[in-house]
Homo-oligomer: A and B are copies of this chain.
Amino acid sequence: MVDVVLQCLNEHKYIQVKETVREMHYADVAEVFERLEDDETARLLFRLLPKDIAAEVFSYMEAEDQERLISTVSDKELRFILDELYLDDYVDLVEEMPANVVKRILKNSSPESRKLINQYLQYPDDSAGSLMTNEYVYLKRTTTVNQALGVIRATGVDKETINKCYVLDSRHHLEGVVTLRDIILADPDCVMEDIMRTSVISVNTNEDQEEVAKMFYKYDMLSMPVVDNENRLVGIITIDDVVDVVQEEVTEDFEKMAGILPSEDTYLKTPVFTLFKSRILWLMVLMVSAMVSGALMTRFEGAIAALPLLVSFIPMLMGTGGNSGSQSSTTIIRSMSLDEIELSDFFRVWWKEVRIAVLCGAALAVVNFARIYFQYHDGVIAMTVSLTLVVTVVIAKSLGCILPMLAKRLKLDPALMASPMLTTITDACSILVFFMFVMIFLGDKL
């Protein structure tokens, strides 16, 4: 359908555009905007949309498209869009637009919206407060089922979710929660007190958004009340926002684990220089660290000059050490972020990794021994390399679990100790172990 609209726009068949758009999901209409190159056509399409659809579509757009649109519509149109936005989308918009656009948005906002937005903008960026909206339905303890349905009918149209309604006392303290389902299924004469759940799971406005996401998952929730330090309800978080948070956090984890500083925007929209800046820091740190491994080797120049063949095993040893370590650290970091492993499991985890490492190391060593022996007919070299391999794998897998857990213990991000950093460390280890064994077993040949 997206393609149909694009084609109709191209062919100036505007009536058909209007009809097609009416049948489409808002997200798909937003996609049309994303794919429109031409600002003029974007404005035209926006004017073709029925008013109520227009605002919904707007909330599904990428920040870039929103900015483009705001810069082309009239103040009156802008006010209409803003009026229809849910508060959390409103706050997001203000946060994401550049200063001049924000100015125009605030100029066209109602005084009470402006006040609310200012209040919401004060919550830290990654906190529950920054995710919440104030569009919820609240009821009193003594409200009857029939009255509740009346309240919902009267005020529910503007609310982001009416599946859960919150029971508050006169000072806005959260006393309980009732689902729309409970209300529908209850006897019409019941009061909220009879059907509400009092053990409400809620979060504080300052709670970290990652923790909020974990609670949504653990309790299979669709929306969560947010309270201040006095347990007064200040807003709710709905699952659609949490889902976005989780995707962002996962992307951030992937980036960190590849030695990239997290970026805000999508890849194609980020300028080359910004991408460069996000990558160079770790490359530089790791390059300098890798020089240590190199410096280690200069101490064995004599051995290398006497037996240059030795050097040819180094890429394999370094590579295998790095890969073994990455396997462990990735597993451990992911398990910790899913709370499947706690710091108290340290020894269990480490002992498990050691046993896996011995198995892996032994299997790899056998293949290596056979290959070197058949190629060079030198059992001592074959044994030296194979032994190095086993020890390297054990060290790499040990570090792969120890370092991320240590980082967490020190309240650092475990992802710091992911593949890139770990590989650099295991590289140095494998070279050291290799030349140590070379000196022991091949010392007389050098």
Contacts and interface: CB of A to CB of B under 8 A. Distances in A.
Contact of A315 (B331, B420, B427): B427
B340 A312 contact: no
Contacts of A301: 308-309, 311-312
Contacts of A244: 217
A344 to B, nearest CB: 11
Interface in A47-93: none
B334 A316 contact: no
18 contacts: A153-B185, A156-B185, A163-B180, A254-B257, A259-B323, A259-B326, A260-B331, A272-B356, A272-B359, A276-B356, A276-B359, A279-B356, A294-B315, A297-B315, A311-B311, A314-B315, A318-B318, A318-B427
Contacts of A268: 335, 340-341, 345, 348-349, 352
A330 B294 contact: no
B334 A312 contact: no
Interface stretch (A94-102, A283-291, A404-412): A283-291
Contacts of A338: 247, 251, 266
Contacts of A316: 287, 290-291, 293-294
A27 interface: yes
Interface of A: 23-25, 27, 149, 152-153, 156-157, 162-163, 180-181, 184-185, 198-199, 201, 216-220, 222, 239-240, 243-244, 246-247, 250-251, 253-255, 257-260, 266-268, 272-273, 275-276, 279-280, 282-284, 286-288, 290-291, 293-295, 297-298, 301-302, 304-305, 308-309, 311-316, 318-320, 322-324, 326-327, 329-332, 334-335, 338, 340-341, 345, 348-349, 352, 355-356, 359-360, 363-364, 367-368, 371, 393, 419-420, 423-424, 427-428, 431
B27 A220 contact: yes
B297 A199 contact: no
A420 to B, nearest CB: 5
Given A273-B359, A284-B367, 19 more contacts: A25-B201, A156-B184, A157-B185, A184-B184, A217-B247, A220-B240, A250-B250, A254-B257, A257-B330, A267-B331, A268-B345, A272-B355, A275-B352, A280-B360, A283-B393, A294-B314, A294-B316, A301-B311, A326-B420
A24 B295 CA distance: 59
B318 A298 contact: no
Q: Specify the main secondary structure of chain A where it touches its partner.
A: helix
A382 B220 CA distance: 59
Contact of A340 (B267, B275, B355): B267
Q: Which 7 A-B pairs have the closest CB atoms?
A: A258-B330, A293-B315, A290-B319, A294-B312, A301-B308, A290-B316, A220-B240
A149 B146 CA distance: 13
A216 B280 CA distance: 36
A287 B352 contact: no
A323 B184 contact: no
Most chain-B CB neighbours within 10 Å: which of A216, A275, A320? Answer: A275
A118 B304 CA distance: 66
